[in-house]
Amino acid sequence: MGRPNAGKSTLVNAVVGSKVAITSDTPQTTRHRLRAILDREDAQVVFVDTPGLHKPHDALGEELNRSALLAIADVDVACLVIDATKPVGRGDQWVAQHVAATKGARVLVLTKADAASAEQVRRQLETARTLAEFHDEVVVSALEGFNVDGFVEVVVRLLPEGPRYFPRDMRTDQPIEVMIAEFVREKVLRSTFDEVPHAVGVELDDLQWDDKADLVRVYAVVYVERDSQKGIIIGAGGEMIKRIGVEARGDLERLLGRHVFLDLRVKVKKDWRRDASQIRRFGYGEGL
Ligand SMILES: Nc1nc2c(ncn2[C@@H]2O[C@H](COP(=O)(O)OP(=O)(O)OP(=O)(O)O)[C@@H](O)[C@H]2O)c(=O)[nH]1
Ligand SMILES: [Mg+2]
């Protein structure tokens, strides 16, 4: 659990060693709870990545918070993720209250240590420790892989014994269609600024597996809320959407292990973030 942009999804990817969650500089990147599975000989750990808890401004924001709070209800270990580079504030306090209320163990995770000085890390830990009672604490850099193993060890030690819940080769519980739409959305987020990334929703129109050509044809629609946003995403002479497509295709080929033909369209769906049924259609919040 953590504020938007704290580094939760980056940490989850680092833990399982592959990209299961999308990440970006834009707060509220993650829009649904997702599971990432780490399988070892002695343990299987199911990490639950959640949307950042924040003060919601629309129906989408409310859904994101609801989905995060539902996720924390039944975990064995709740991790409070704090960004080492940002002052601990009311947002963190609020998240910590929810972490403190869980029935399982609690771990304080200070991340982005690579971007903070030793002194900053020390002070940050001192403040963060007062937010709740923690069973353990750990400092990591998910981006540089610093102490990610240490984090996993802390979590494994706190887990109760139980069965393997997932097949040993399964990395995530997200359907492939959801991952494809999310990978496309990530590239849009990373190419746009201000209000635009928040107004973007991606829907998969069609997915065609062509075994003979060792190819997957992906037809996706990028939805925005205004004509002006559509113009920004398409860009002058279609430059922007072309670049988004090239970047997304690279990621999708790694994900699917095949050549990918990607057809991207941009459409306007006015004020979709206020529309609960549309939010669910995209699969955001608890819509999965
Ligand atoms: N320097 C540094 N940057 C990091 C680290 N971890 C994450 N980041 C960056 O922080 C930004 C946010 O990371 P995310 O993993 O998307 O954050 P999140 O907590 O999942 O955010 P939401 O999904 O919006 O709640 C991205 O630009 C990451 O590259 C880290 O260990 N070091
Ligand atoms: Mg995230």
Kindly list the distances between the CA atom of residue 238 and the CA atoms of 110, 196, 222, 227, 228, in Å, as whole numbers in the listed order.
41, 17, 14, 15, 14
Residue having the nearest C-alpha atom to atom 16 of ligand 1: 23
Q: Which of 8, 11, 20, 23 to mutate to test the pocket of ligand 1 (most atoms within 8 A of CB)?
A: 23
Cα 83 to ligand 1 centroid, rounded to whole Å: 8
Summarize pLDDT for 26-81 with one digit per residue, the tens. Answer: 999 999 999 999 999 999 999 999 999 999 999 999 999 999 999 999 899 999 99
Residue 287's pLDDT band, with cuts at 50, 70 and 90, is: low
Cα 132 to ligand 2 centroid, rounded to whole Å: 22
Residue 109's pLDDT band, with cuts at 50, 70 and 90, is: very high
Do 3 and 91 touch, CB atoms closer than 8 A? yes
Q: From CA 161, how far away is CA 52, in angstroms rounded? A: 29
- pLDDT over 90 at 254, yes or no: yes
Cα 134 to ligand 1 centroid, rounded to whole Å: 22
Atom of ligand 1 minimally distant from the CA of 144: 31
Mean pLDDT, the chain, rounded, equals: 97
Cα 39 to ligand 1 centroid, rounded to whole Å: 24
Query: What is the DSSP code string of 121-142?
Result: HHHHHHHHHTTS--SEEEE-BT
